């Protein structure tokens, strides 16, 4: 799309696809019996959870805001005080949300039935899904950032980012199929563990080997490993969540799979963006430059900023590898139905 059209077409194409999906869904569900009573929405729980996520993301992003900070001390003070009300609000909203879910079922269906978390496999699968969401969004966002730093031509950078991410998403799609087949044969734990091991290895390689001199081909095969890991994980953790729920609550459980992954993406991106901005602000002060006005000043500045940016982005991959390793440890709590 970027090569033959404009970047806006990435969004334009979603319009007809959404309309087609809406029409197919309307047609496929037309024969379902209509409920006798219209289900009520848990507006209280929805509002509290939205407030919690909104303020948490504002706090995490605000912690990394370097635009108004004068050096490391200013940044540290700014992160400590200006975002504290948002963290407190997020914590209070979360506690109230949990309390509301215990009592709201007296008059309506709760947004999340907390009793589901007591069922076998449900809690570890949901936690893994949350962590995988955070790791996935870091790869999807930071890989194009690395490419844009290394490739000065904007059009070529967009094209190369697409090629690299296609390697990851392509292997992800293929291994998702085989992950589903393997789950039927070996159950949740081994397939999830192997997938998360691939994620940990892929992110570890990216965090240690990616530098300003790395070739795009080398980046590509490491992303294929990462995508294979993501693909293997999709089927077992999704199936574990749905199968752990009672038959009447599997619709809620299936939606929770997507919700927790999106929550992981939101929190993961905000947290690592905040940390990355802090690290960039710290490391850029350590760049050694010749005198201003000298012939080599601009070249040294560009090379220094490039090196620092790639280093910070590589560190986010290393942190993501640790997160994937934590998810790997949690996967051993999964057991056969």
Across the chain, what does the average pLDDT equal? Answer: 82
Query: CA–CA separation, 337 vs 330, rounded Å?
Result: 17
- With a threshold of 0.85, does the pTM exceed it? no
Say if 14 falls within a structural domain.
no
* pLDDT band of 62, cuts 50, 70, 90: low
* pLDDT band of 147, cuts 50, 70, 90: confident
Mean pLDDT of 207-232: 90
Q: What is the pLDDT of residue 337?
A: 67
Closest among 314, 6, 2, 310 to 162, alpha carbons compared: 2
Say if 308 falls within a structural domain.
yes
- pLDDT at 259 exceeding the cut of 60: yes
Q: Which residues of 204-235 are buried (b: 16+ CB within 10 A; e: fewer)?
A: bbbbeebeeebeeeebbebbbbbbbbbbbbbb
* pLDDT band of 273, cuts 50, 70, 90: confident
| Residues 228 and 308 placed together within one structural domain of the fold | yes
| Residues 131 and 257 placed together within one structural domain of the fold | yes
The number of distinct structural domains making up the chain is 2
- pLDDT at 77 exceeding the cut of 60: no
**pLDDT tens-place string over residues 6-60:** 778 878 889 999 999 999 988 988 887 776 766 677 788 889 988 988 888 777 6
**pLDDT tens-place string over residues 103-118:** 877 777 777 778 888 8
Task: Please give the residue that has the higher pLDDT: either 177 or 39.
Answer: 177
CATH label of the domain that carries residue 306? 1.20.1250.20
- Spatial neighbors of 110 by CB under 8 A, at least 6 apart, are 42, 45, 100, 101, 104
Q: What is the pLDDT of residue 223?
A: 93
Say if 31 falls within a structural domain.
no
Closest among 185, 190, 204 to 232, alpha carbons compared: 190
| Residues 258 and 323 placed together within one structural domain of the fold | yes
| Residues 46 and 166 placed together within one structural domain of the fold | no
| Residues 90 and 183 placed together within one structural domain of the fold | no
Mean pLDDT of 176-200: 92
Of 82, 111, 140, the last residue of a domain is: 111
287: left (phi over 0), alpha (psi -120 to 50) or beta: beta
Query: CA–CA separation, 16 vs 43, rounded Å?
Result: 31
- pLDDT at 275 exceeding the cut of 60: yes
Mean pLDDT of 115-135: 89
Say if 166 falls within a structural domain.
yes
- pLDDT at 198 exceeding the cut of 80: yes
Q: What is the pLDDT of residue 150?
A: 82
Closest among 290, 279, 283, 272 to 305, alpha carbons compared: 283
Of 71, 94, 111, the last residue of a domain is: 111
- pLDDT at 68 exceeding the cut of 50: no
Of 111, 131, 152, the last residue of a domain is: 111
From residue 185, alpha-carbon distances to 180, 191, 242, 254, 257 in Å are 9, 10, 18, 22, 22
Mean pLDDT of 193-214: 92
| Residues 144 and 89 placed together within one structural domain of the fold | no
Mean pLDDT of 132-156: 84
Q: Read out DSSP for 125-193?
A: HHHHHHHHHHHHHHHHHHHHHHHHHH---HHHHHHHHHHHHHHHHHHHHHHHHHHHHHHHHH-HHHHHH
Token representation of residue 321? 């590898």
Q: What is the pLDDT of residue 280?
A: 79
Q: What is the pLDDT of residue 174?
A: 93
- pLDDT at 203 exceeding the cut of 80: yes
| Residues 175 and 323 placed together within one structural domain of the fold | yes
| Residues 128 and 103 placed together within one structural domain of the fold | no
| Residues 100 and 52 placed together within one structural domain of the fold | yes
- pLDDT at 2 exceeding the cut of 90: no
Say if 170 falls within a structural domain.
yes
Query: CA–CA separation, 241 vs 172, rounded Å?
Result: 20
* pLDDT band of 78, cuts 50, 70, 90: very low
| Residues 209 and 63 placed together within one structural domain of the fold | no
Query: CA–CA separation, 14 vs 23, rounded Å?
Result: 14
Say if 16 falls within a structural domain.
no
Residue 86: give the domain boundaries.
39-111
- pLDDT at 216 exceeding the cut of 60: yes
Say if 174 falls within a structural domain.
yes
The DSSP output letter for 19 is H
Q: What are phi and psi of 104, to 5 degrees?
A: -70, -20
């Amino acid at each position: 799309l970027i090569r033959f059209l404009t970047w806006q077409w990435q969004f334009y194409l979603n319009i007809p696809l959404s309309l087609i999906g809406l029409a197919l869904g309307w047609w496929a569900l037309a024969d379902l019996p209509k409920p006798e009573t219209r289900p009520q929405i848990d507006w209280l729980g929805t509002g509290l959870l939205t407030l919690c996520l909104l303020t948490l993301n504002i706090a995490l992003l605000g912690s990394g805001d370097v635009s108004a900070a004068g050096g490391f001390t200013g940044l540290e003070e700014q992160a400590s005080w200006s975002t504290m009300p948002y963290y407190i609000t997020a914590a209070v909203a979360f506690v109230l949300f949990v309390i509301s879910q215990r009592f709201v079922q007296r008059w309506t269906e709760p947004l999340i039935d907390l009793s589901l978390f007591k069922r076998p496999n449900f809690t570890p699968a949901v936690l893994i899904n949350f962590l995988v969401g955070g790791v996935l969004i870091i790869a999807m966002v930071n890989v194009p950032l690395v490419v844009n730093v290394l490739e000065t031509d904007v059009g070529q950078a967009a094209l190369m980012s697409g090629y690299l991410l296609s390697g990851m998403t392509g292997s992800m799609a293929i291994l998702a199929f085989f992950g589903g087949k393997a789950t039927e044969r070996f159950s949740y734990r081994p397939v999830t563990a192997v997938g998360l091991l691939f994620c940990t290895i892929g992110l570890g390689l990216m965090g240690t080997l990616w530098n300003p001199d790395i070739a795009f081909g080398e980046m590509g095969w490491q992303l294929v490993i990462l995508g294979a890991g993501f693909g293997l994980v999709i089927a077992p953790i999704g199936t574990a969540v749905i199968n752990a729920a009672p038959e009447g609550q599997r619709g809620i459980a299936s939606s929770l799979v997507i919700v927790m992954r999106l929550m992981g993406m939101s929190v993961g991106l905000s947290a690592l963006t905040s940390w990355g901005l802090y690290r960039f602000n710290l490391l850029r002060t350590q760049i050694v430059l010749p005198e201003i006005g000298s012939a080599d000043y601009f070249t040294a500045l560009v090379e220094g900023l490039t090196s620092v940016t790639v280093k910070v982005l590589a560190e986010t991959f290393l942190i993501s590898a640790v997160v994937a390793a934590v998810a790997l440890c949690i996967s051993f709590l999964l057991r056969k139905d």
